[in-house]
Structure 1
Amino acid sequence: MTQKTRSRAARLALLAAVPALALTTACGGAAESSDDGVASVSDAPSTGRTKDAGDASRSGAAQGKSAFYDAQMKFVQCMRKKVTKDYPDPKLSGHLDWTKINELQEQRGSDDVAKAGRGGACKNEMQKAMSLEPPRDTQKDYESMLAHAKCMRAHGVSKFTNPRLQDGNVIPGGDPNPASPEIAQDSPAYKQAEQACKDKLLDGLDGMQ
């Protein structure tokens, strides 16, 4: 298993322990097969917000975003103290910068960076931060991951699988067999496809598939 594969597996394992995940449904939807065999979302409910409700929601989202960022900074400070002083700042959105984290992990030759420290030294801080992440739109997250999967295949990574919707959650796509990888994520071809398709993923989804 490559360093990058371990990084993603570690991140997903940590997220799985958090009751309110980034990918937990915010507006439902069911997966169905389209004519080309690619899953799609249908019958997503409308938001139905009034202007006042929308203003209140934006105000609450702004407060939640600030709390999320502050919690992520506490996690980052923990990682700098217990793992490496070079651990990168979160993005302004509060989401971790997994591109920089993966680069740092490769430089160190250790997956402690992705696993929130040796023995999960900063796991509690990471889970606290993720529990404060503002609600996401499941349909948009799914469509973002689907576009990314299609892009990866179009750029030569033919085995890259689509995400799935299951029980109101988005299950990331990627390697069809993560336990025994079939996709060489360290290959030049994969890295070129990853670079070409990175903008398909919404903020906060990088590193998820």
Structure 2
Amino acid sequence: MNPTTTSRATARLRIAALAALPVLFFSAACGGDGDSAGGDGGKKGDEIASVPDTPSASRTADGAAAPSTAPAGKSAFYDAQLKYVQCMRVKGGYKDYPDPKLSGHLDWTKIEEISSRPGQNEAAKGGKDGVCAPELQRAMLAEPKRDQQKDYESMLAHAKCMRDNGVSRFTNPTMSGGNAQPGGDPNPASPSIDQDSPTYKQAREACRTKLLDGLDGMQ
């Protein structure tokens, strides 16, 4: 993925998570004890709830949203993402951090909303001081290899939908070296598409389902 071709705020969050991961992992390994976003403090010895094998209550004792029961035939990717989500809720202090989708991919629309809140921009990057960096790294390593042709076709349908819904400058994705490269703003360095406009927001919502899981926010 070439980050200069992305334009949406979610894409920047995901790129930031990838770029910051080595630093976060190092910080976590050194045992940083910075305060969490939820005010509980990343105390040493905090334990993360294990992946549930039976249905759980909708809320945990401390008020955090309890992860839903993993689907039948759950993958190692789903398990790794669920452990990351649990860490973000317990150690990171983001009590409403969303469950992973059944595919194992995170719900970046909801994470973007959380990250937009004052003082919570670390929600997309493993938590403050990289408290959940090890879990984030394991989840990234467990992600299955993507079908680049299907990703390209999905992003192409999304780009066409965006133009059909009034965002005329939205560009098509491209293929480079066998990898699908996102489309979007024709000049990300100096954006020409107003992402805060009602037209853009309406188009984004109308075209949301055109993108395969894991591609939300990539263009």
TM-score tier (shorter): 0.5 to 0.7
- Determine which of 68, 71, 85 is the counterpart of 2:80: 71
Equivalenced residues, count: 163
2:3 aligned partner: none
Shift of the alpha carbon at 1:140? 0.7
Provide the rounded CA distance (Å) in 2 between the counterparts of 1:120 and 1:95.
20
Provide the rounded CA distance (Å) in 1 between the counterparts of 2:178 and 2:20.
17
1:8 aligned partner: 11
Provide the rounded CA distance (Å) in 2 between the counterparts of 1:100 and 1:74.
18
Query: Structure 2 counterpart of 1:76, which letter?
Result: V
- State the SS of the aligned residue for 1:82: coil
The answer to whether the 8 A contact 1:101-1:113 is kept is yes
Please say if 1:139 is aligned against 2:142: no
Listed as ranges, the gaps of 5+ residues in structure 1 are: 19-62
- Determine which of 86, 97, 103 is the counterpart of 2:96: 86
Shift of the alpha carbon at 1:101? 1.3
- State the SS of the aligned residue for 1:165: strand
CA 198–154 in structure 1, closer or farther in 2 if over 3 Å, else same: same
Percent identity between the two aligned chains: 67
Q: How does 1:167-186 map to 2 (within 5 A)?
A: 167-186=177-196
- State the SS of the aligned residue for 1:190: helix
CA 7–124 in structure 1, closer or farther in 2 if over 3 Å, else same: farther
Query: Structure 1 counterpart of 2:139, which letter?
Result: A
CA 6–148 in structure 1, closer or farther in 2 if over 3 Å, else same: closer
The answer to whether the 8 A contact 1:64-1:132 is kept is no
CA 87–134 in structure 1, closer or farther in 2 if over 3 Å, else same: same
TM normalised by structure 1 equals 0.67
CA 95–189 in structure 1, closer or farther in 2 if over 3 Å, else same: same
CA 96–14 in structure 1, closer or farther in 2 if over 3 Å, else same: same
Listed as ranges, the gaps of 5+ residues in structure 2 are: 1-6, 22-71
The answer to whether the 8 A contact 2:17-2:124 is kept is no
TM normalised by structure 2 equals 0.65
Query: Structure 1 counterpart of 2:100, which letter?
Result: P
The answer to whether the 8 A contact 1:83-1:112 is kept is no
What CA deviation, in whole Å up to 9, does each residue of 1:148-174 have, x standing for no partner? 011111111122121111112111111
Provide the rounded CA distance (Å) in 2 between the counterparts of 1:83 and 1:172.
32
The answer to whether the 8 A contact 2:195-2:201 is kept is yes
CA RMSD of aligned residues (A): 2.7
